[in-house]
């Protein structure tokens, strides 16, 4: 089967077909997800919480992400692979170039950064140097202490407009994909309709161009807690493969997420 590329993801958006994504951290799970035809796998800095049991993502290093990216790439033949740029690994433009190059060399096809307008020059520079970039707005976990916890973003009109404006500017800077996390469904819908690039939601309602979940949440085995926006697919399935297949089908047919997994 043909590999999923940025062009593939753009075509899915243009056709109105949903994109299904999961986090992955090793070759075995990556192979399983790939065989079930997942579109995108993200090596997330969420590994700090779900693999190590940390309270947040801040202790994850670029070497951690590079290692797990190599593992995931070895198990993947079709899906598009994105690697997170962890906390402070892109604090300066030059640092971003060095660390993004390390992740691409480890097997990523795109890197993901969290933040808005302050990243414009960094994103432009990465894209000019041949490194595809995914943006991330809304609840950005690396800023958890600024937010005062893991809280929904964009409920107030001024804050919502800032997220919308930032999304437009990120697209102009060159991002080819955008993750929206924990924002009201109406705001996510508006952004998805405004941008030409695909928008992937997590706790952002059903009207984004696709969905992503942390694999441990999707299997109901996270060490800490089950987020409101997630669903335990293993609870109603006989095995992990069936759970992944059902998740993908639910995303593609807009059965997931439901209102109970979204925010107003």
**How confident is the model over 82-98, as pLDDT tens digits?**
999 999 999 999 999 99
Q: Is 117 a catalytic residue?
A: no
Radius of gyration of the chain (CA): 17
Query: What is the pLDDT at residue 245?
Result: 98
pLDDT in tens, 40-50: 999 999 999 99
CA-wise closest residue to 191 among 171, 211, 213: 171
User: Is residue 188 a contact partner of residue 179, using CB atoms and an 8 Å limit?
Assistant: no
What is the number of structural domains in the chain? 1
- Tell me the binding residues for 3-methyl-2-oxobutanoate: 45-46, 84, 112
Structural domain range at position 186: 6-261
For residue 87, the domain's CATH number is 3.20.20.60
User: Is residue 112 a contact partner of residue 179, using CB atoms and an 8 Å limit?
Assistant: yes
Q: How far apart are CA 138 and CA 161, in angstroms?
A: 11
Query: What is the pLDDT at residue 148?
Result: 65
Q: How far apart are CA 148 and CA 156, in angstroms?
A: 16
* 226: pLDDT strictly greater than 90: no
pTM score of the predicted model: 0.95
Q: How far apart are CA 12 and CA 3, in angstroms?
A: 14
- Tell me the binding residues: 45-46, 84, 112, 114
* 149: pLDDT strictly greater than 80: no
Q: Does 1 fall in a domain?
A: no
Contacts of residue 154, defined as CB under 8 A and 6 or more positions apart, other chains included, come to: 138, 160, 163, 183, 184, 187
Query: What is the pLDDT at residue 150?
Result: 61
Q: Does 19 fall in a domain?
A: yes
Residue of 35, 181, 193, 260 marked active site:
181
CA-wise closest residue to 150 among 138, 163, 159, 141: 141
- Tell me the binding residues for Mg(2+): 45, 84, 114
Contacts of residue 65, defined as CB under 8 A and 6 or more positions apart, other chains included, come to: 43, 45, 47, 83, 84, 85, 86, 103, 106
User: Is residue 202 a contact partner of residue 211, using CB atoms and an 8 Å limit?
Assistant: yes
CA-wise closest residue to 135 among 112, 153, 119, 118: 112
Q: What mean pLDDT value characterizes the chain? A: 95
Q: Does 148 fall in a domain?
A: yes
Q: How far apart are CA 233 and CA 244, in angstroms?
A: 8
Query: What is the pLDDT at residue 218?
Result: 96
């Amino acid at each position: 089967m043909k590999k999923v590329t940025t062009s593939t993801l753009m075509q899915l958006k243009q056709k109105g077909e949903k994109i299904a994504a999961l986090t992955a951290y090793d070759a075995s799970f990556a192979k399983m997800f790939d065989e079930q035809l997942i579109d995108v796998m993200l090596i997330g800095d969420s590994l700090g919480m779900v693999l190590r049991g940390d309270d947040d993502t801040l202790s994850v290093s670029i070497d951690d992400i590079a290692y797990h990216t190599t593992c995931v790439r070895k198990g993947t033949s079709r899906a598009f692979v994105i690697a997170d740029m962890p906390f402070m690994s892109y604090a300066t433009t030059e640092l971003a170039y060095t660390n993004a190059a390390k992740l691409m060399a480890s097997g990523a096809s795109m890197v993901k950064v969290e933040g808005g307008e302050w990243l414009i020059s960094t994103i432009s520079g990465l894209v000019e140097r041949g490194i595809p970039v995914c943006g991330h707005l809304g609840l950005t976990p690396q800023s958890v202490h600024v937010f005062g916890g893991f809280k929904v973003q964009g409920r107030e009109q001024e804050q919502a407009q800032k997220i919308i404006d930032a999304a437009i500017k990120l697209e102009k800077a060159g991002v080819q994909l955008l993750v929206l996390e924990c924002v009201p469904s109406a705001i996510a819908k508006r952004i998805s309709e405004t941008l030409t690039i695909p928008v992937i939601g997590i706790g952002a309602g059903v009207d984004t161009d696709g969905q992503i979940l942390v694999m441990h949440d999707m299997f109901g085995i996270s060490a800490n807690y089950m987020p409101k926006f997630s669903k335990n697919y293993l609870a109603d399935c006989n095995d992990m493969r069936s759970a992944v297949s059902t998740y993908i089908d639910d995303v593609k047919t807009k059965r997931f997420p439901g209102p109970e997994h979204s925010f107003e």
